[in-house]
Amino acid sequence: MITATISDLTRSLSYLKPADVGRIEEAYRFSDGAHHGQFRTSGDPYISHPLAVAGIVAEWQLDSQAVMAALLHDVMEDTTVGKEEIGQRFGKPVAELVDGLSKLDRIEFQSAADAKAENFRKMLLAMARDVRVILIKLADRLHNMRTLEAVAPEKRRRIARETAEIYAPIANRLGLDSLYRELQELSFANLYPLRYKVVAKAVRAARGNRREVVNRILDAIREKLAASGIQASVSGREKHIYSIYKKMLEKHLSFSQVTDIFGFRVVVNDVAACYVAMGVLHALYKPVPGRFKDYIAIPKVNGYQSLHTTLIGPYGAPVEAQIRTQQMHRIAETGVASHWLYKSSDAELNEVQQRTHKWLQSLLDIQNASGDSSEFLEHVKVDLFPDEVYVFSPKGRILAMPRGATPVDFAYAVHTDIGNRCVSARINEDLVPLRTELKNGDRVEIITAPHAHPNPAWLTYVKTGKARSEIRHFLKTMQSEESMALGERLLGQALRALNTRIAEVPEERWERLLRDSSAKSRQEVLSDIGLGKRLAAIVARRLLSLSEQHAAETRPGAIQIKGSEGMAVQFADCCHPIPGDPIIGFINKGQGLVIHTHDCPSARRSRSDSDKWIDVEWSQSLEKSFEVRLRVSVLDQRGVLAKVAAAIAEAGSDIANISVENDGSLYATNQFTLQVSNRQHLARVMRALRRVPEVVRIARTGD
């Protein structure tokens, strides 16, 4: 059985040189020896699996290194053979491919989820360096899915779900359409076996009933195209069971209501013939408005090109048709693997390679910005959405974005610096909010400012992995830097109270503190103090080896608040302190230093935790505006809101937010969030409001 299988593989390698085939046979013998005595769950000798994977890789006509790596892909994981030995016997490139495919079983992770995420991260980064890694991995997954019936039900569902969520979308992203469809179909069959059987049975029953209609449509299309002088290959195809089920699910249809379970494909000689053929089909059967897509003029992000149209066929049934050239058809079937299958300098093939390279490069960008493996996997999953919208830059460049993407996603797609400095956007010449969803054909212009930076709120609506990872990376870096600076100030304050300056602390004291507290560096300790994870007073005592009693005899001076500390200092939403208000600071774990007014009810409730309260005071040199809330009651008359807004503007304040409450009486209550410099500025605003005749009451509020 094994001999026959290796013979089959050898026969499929006729596209390679004899010397390369000899090396592959040597790799087979090495793998067979390494896996000797191992069996699959089905009872088959384990070597049958690497052979099957190599056979799939050979179908794509990948090079000899890829076929050898396919034969050896489980050797490092399941046997004692290491990367170095593979490199010595079969060359460094093969060893790198096998290493990229091997799991990290020898490293301990906090959880199975962490291990899975790290495996994907390693595999995807190896793929970014060499796309053959993922092609072999996809072949490996395909054979595993084809032989899944021998696996326990729970494990079968887990593997099927993983395939549906990760591997099938990757196959789609790389343009491997046939593989994508088969992985989807196998995942559905193993995740929902009963549903699969019911739909499959219904399709088989309908096949005979609809054969006459399908043949009639095929004959009509062929006859019409021939009469128009167009050479074409026309085929009818049954839709995949998963596609039919998905349509039933999304549109809440019964099987009998899904009328378009058959599609038709027209393959012609050149691009011009595609459009002529489409015209012929539209003359033969009426097109459904809004159901025409031109993926030739604007290819999908994975390089797929075709014309899609839906027609009203005989008996009123909708008929889906795809029209493409021979070259487009090959690329649609094999995607990025067409680089090996069809050695060509064709512009279409080059375009596929460029698109793939760009996406692989984006994986490296996401990795650089992501903090850990789970976060990286989350970002990549976001990037695998199959639906795209196509938008234009002001210079006419086309960018493909996932459905639901916003101008912020667009800005990061153009360049990371554009995203980080984005302040607003124009879509089709109109100013729009940054959370606006992009639509097909939108012309997007990003407006930037030199000192702008990402807003944490962007994370609630961005869709692309690149945007999400870059925003998180910036915020983490900024928070770390700002919290470190605040931590240094807080520790300096605590040490001054103990008659010591931070620069006077001996290096050995810092080393002992790091050793005792399991911190990696002095910067980590300072950052933890700024974030409230460590208390400055306790760190100061440890650095100076002082007792609690000695430390209690001293009291640190007040920290000065400038307003420019960034994310490390928060101004409490419950009281909205502004310069001039008496204030107090509370160290909140994870948030850093939170500033309250002295008489804030929330602060009063937490006074018992005395170690976390520190004295703060406003600096003489303040560097920002502060938010304050006013409740303004007015006579409910036409134009009164405009008068109130004008008075606020004349007093030199900006309105950040406004809400209006009206209970149907003579009066309305307006809640304003204003930007002011200090209490004196607020007093000027309130005096200006009192001069408006319709204003009857003004009060400063917290929440």
Q: Are residues 55 and 157 in the same domain?
A: yes
Domain that holds residue 525: 472-618
Q: Are residues 667 and 696 in the same domain?
A: yes
What residues have CB less than 8 Å from 235, skipping those under 6 apart? 218, 264, 265, 267
Q: Are 268 and 323 in contact, with CB atoms under 8 Å apart?
A: yes
pLDDT of res. 364: 62
| Residue that is written with structure tokens 């903090």 in the block | 371
pLDDT of res. 367: 62
Q: Are 590 and 532 in contact, with CB atoms under 8 Å apart?
A: yes
Q: Are 660 and 672 in contact, with CB atoms under 8 Å apart?
A: no
CATH number of the domain encompassing residue 465: 3.10.20.30
The rounded Cα 409 to chain-centroid distance in angstroms is 11
Amino acid at 95: A
Q: Are residues 224 and 312 in the same domain?
A: yes
pLDDT of res. 261: 67
Cite the beta strand spans of 384-473 per DSSP E. Answer: 388-392, 398-402, 422-427, 430-432, 444-448
Q: Are residues 528 and 634 in the same domain?
A: no
pLDDT of res. 683: 94
CATH number of the domain encompassing residue 320: 3.30.460.10
Q: Does the pLDDT value for residue 338 go beyond 70?
A: no
Least confident of 187-191, 535-539, 634-638: 535-539
Residue 29 backbone phi and psi in degrees, to 5: -65, -40
Q: Are 574 and 553 in contact, with CB atoms under 8 Å apart?
A: no
* Domain final residue, candidates 567, 600, 618: 618
pLDDT, average across residues 333-353: 54
Q: Are 416 and 438 in contact, with CB atoms under 8 Å apart?
A: no
DSSP of 326-350, one letter per residue? Answer: HHHHHHHHHGGGHHHHS----HHHH
Q: Does the pLDDT value for residue 551 go beyond 80?
A: no
Sign of CA dihedral 37, 39, 45, 49: negative
pLDDT, average across residues 674-692: 93
- Which residues form the catalytic set? 77-78
Give the angle 44-46-48 at the CA atoms, nearest 5°: 75
Q: Between these two residues, 576 and 558, which has the higher pLDDT value? A: 576
Coil, strand, or helix at residue 351?
helix
Q: Are residues 15 and 137 in the same domain?
A: yes
Q: Are residues 136 and 237 in the same domain?
A: no
pLDDT of res. 660: 84
Q: Is residue 377 part of a domain?
A: yes
Please state, for a pLDDT cut of 70, what percent of the chain lies above it: 81
Q: Is residue 347 part of a domain?
A: no
Q: Does the pLDDT value for residue 288 go beyond 60?
A: yes
Q: Is residue 346 part of a domain?
A: no
Least confident of 45-49, 192-196, 458-462, 592-596: 592-596
Q: Are residues 539 and 525 in the same domain?
A: yes
Q: Between these two residues, 388 and 187, which has the higher pLDDT value? A: 187
Q: Does the pLDDT value for residue 351 go beyond 70?
A: no
Give the angle 367-372-375 at the CA atoms, nearest 5°: 80
In whole angstroms, give the CA distance from residue 256 to residue 496: 81
In whole angstroms, give the CA distance from residue 488 to residue 523: 9
Amino acid at 465: G
CATH number of the domain encompassing residue 148: 1.10.3210.10
| Domain count across the chain | 5
pLDDT of res. 276: 93
pLDDT of res. 371: 56
pLDDT of res. 524: 83
Q: Are residues 158 and 208 in the same domain?
A: no
Q: Are residues 596 and 649 in the same domain?
A: no
Residue 48 backbone phi and psi in degrees, to 5: -60, -30
Q: Are residues 130 and 25 in the same domain?
A: yes
pLDDT of res. 548: 44
At 477-520, the pLDDT tens digits run 777 777 788 788 888 887 887 888 888 888 888 888 887 777 78
**Of 485, 458, 483, 480, nearest to 469 (Cα)?**
458
Helices (H), 497-590: 507-517, 522-530, 536-544, 548-552
Least confident of 178-192, 252-266, 511-525: 252-266
At 104-148, the pLDDT tens digits run 444 444 455 666 666 666 666 666 667 788 888 899 999 999 998
> Backbone dihedral region of 554: left (phi > 0), alpha (psi from -120 to 50 degrees) or beta?
beta
Q: Does the pLDDT value for residue 395 go beyond 50?
A: yes
Pairing of strands 232-238, 307-312: unpaired
pLDDT, average across residues 514-535: 78
In whole angstroms, give the CA distance from residue 146 to residue 343: 30
Give the DSSP letter of residue 628: E
pLDDT, average across residues 673-700: 93
Q: Are residues 461 and 490 in the same domain?
A: no
Give me the chain's average pLDDT, please.
80
Q: How many CB atoms lie within 10 A of CB 80?
A: 8
pLDDT of res. 236: 83
Q: Is residue 519 part of a domain?
A: yes
pLDDT of res. 376: 62
Q: Does the pLDDT value for residue 342 go beyond 60?
A: no
Q: Is residue 577 part of a domain?
A: yes
Give the DSSP letter of residue 443: B
pLDDT, average across residues 228-252: 83
Q: Is residue 380 part of a domain?
A: yes
At 565-574, the pLDDT tens digits run 666 677 888 8
* Domain final residue, candidates 618, 637, 660: 618
Least confident of 374-383, 411-420, 441-450: 374-383
Q: Are 242 and 184 in contact, with CB atoms under 8 Å apart?
A: yes
CATH number of the domain encompassing residue 684: 3.30.70.260
Residue 635: its H or E element: strand 626-635
The rounded Cα 514 to chain-centroid distance in angstroms is 36
CA R_g for the chain: 33
Q: Between these two residues, 528 and 51, which has the higher pLDDT value? A: 51
Q: Between these two residues, 646 and 524, which has the higher pLDDT value? A: 646
Q: Is residue 162 part of a domain?
A: yes
In whole angstroms, give the CA distance from residue 29 to residue 68: 11
Coil, strand, or helix at residue 588?
strand
Amino acid at 334: T
Q: Are 42 and 105 in contact, with CB atoms under 8 Å apart?
A: no
| Residue that is written with structure tokens 């054969």 in the block | 211
Q: Does the pLDDT value for residue 84 go beyond 70?
A: yes
Q: Is residue 345 part of a domain?
A: no
pLDDT of res. 547: 46
- CA distances to 13, 60, 137, 178 from 337, in Å: 16, 6, 13, 12
* Domain final residue, candidates 452, 471, 490: 471
pLDDT of res. 694: 92
**Of 643, 658, 629, nearest to 694 (Cα)?**
643
Q: Are residues 185 and 284 in the same domain?
A: no
